[in-house]
Structure 1
Amino acid sequence: MYELDCSLVFPGCERVIRADTRAGVIRRAIAQANALGIERISPMMMDTMRERMIDRPETTVRAA
């Protein structure tokens, strides 16, 4: 599972974006940027997304 704190890339964003793949996180981050009114994703923003994305181990939650 990959994760990106959107506020580290786009000012004013309060989401944490998660997906099974890096590409999935990037797609969701671009959609979120568009929703925030950002029409163009610069190469610097793309680099920042890739740098700030983390790989979270999947955790299995068991019911008690």
Structure 2
Amino acid sequence: MYELDCSTVFPGCERVIRADSPAGVIRRAVAQANALGIERVTPSMLDSMREKMIERPETADRAA
């Protein structure tokens, strides 16, 4: 499980984005940026997303 605290990349965002892969987190983060009114996600924003993304271990309740 991968996770990104959206506020570390997009000021004012209050979501924590989770997905099974880094690509999934990036896709969801770009969609969230668009929802926040950010029309163009720059390469530096993508780099920031990759740097600030963390990997979390799977939890038992998620596997159930």
**Is the radius of gyration larger for structure 1 or structure 2?**
1
Shift of 1:44: 0.7
Q: Which runs of 5+ in 1 are unaligned?
A: none
Give per-residue Cα distances to partners, 1:41-61, cap 9 Å, x unaligned.
Answer: 011100000000000000103
How many correspondences in the alignment? 61
Percent identity of paired positions between Structure 1 and Structure 2: 79
* Aligned residue identity for 1:42: T
Structure 2 match to 1:9 = 9
Paired residue for 1:18?
Answer: 18
Task: State the Cα distance separating 1:8 from its structure 2 match.
Answer: 0.1
Runs of 4 or more, structure 1, over 2 Å off, are none
Helix, strand or coil for the counterpart of 1:44? helix
TM-score when normalising by structure 2: 0.93
Aligned residue type for 1:23: A
Amino acid corresponding to residue 9 of structure 1 in structure 2? V
Counterpart position of 1:54: 54
The alignment's C-alpha RMSD in Å is 0.5
Give the aligned residue type for 1:32: Q
CA drift of 1:31 comes to: 0.2
